[in-house]
Amino acid sequence: MNALRNKVQLIGNLGMNPEIKTLESGKKLAKMSIATNESYKNTNGELVKETQWHNLIAWGKTADIIEKYLKKGSEVAIEGKLINSNYTDKDGQKKYVTEIQVNELLMFGKQD
């Protein structure tokens, strides 16, 4: 059950081309966002569609795969864990960030 303590699984579409950074150590980092969509009927029987945006990060070989194969609009399934961090912006305001660190990636559809 320990594996279930911090586990996220999502299927969605990339909202932007992945941003790839190579750190001084040579380690590669990929940043991207995906949209997940849900539909339901409200109390009036009207169909409501909701989109949620999720920020993702990936390291190493996973980042290599993302760089090579994914682009805006690509449909993916990911598995990872939530990472919370904070920083102080240039105006002295504390900002909080929640990202999903991708451990597993499954690509859907045709790859270019």
CATH value of 2-107 in 1.10.260.40, 3.40.718.10, 1.10.3720.10, 2.40.50.140: 2.40.50.140
**100, 83 contact by CB (below 8 A):** yes
Tell me the torsion sign for CA atoms 100, 106, 110, 111: positive
Q: State both tokens at 92.
A: 């002295």
> What are the domain boundaries of the chain?
2-107
- Under the banding of pLDDT at 50, 70 and 90, the label for residue 111 is low
pLDDT digits (tens, 9 = 90+) for 57-109: 999 999 999 999 999 999 999 999 999 999 999 999 999 999 999 999 999 97
3-state helix, strand, coil in the chain (%, to 5): 10, 60, 30
pLDDT digits (tens, 9 = 90+) for 14-24: 999 999 999 99
pLDDT digits (tens, 9 = 90+) for 27-67: 999 999 999 999 999 999 999 999 999 999 999 999 999 99
Task: Give the residues across from 29 on adjacent strands.
Answer: 21, 59
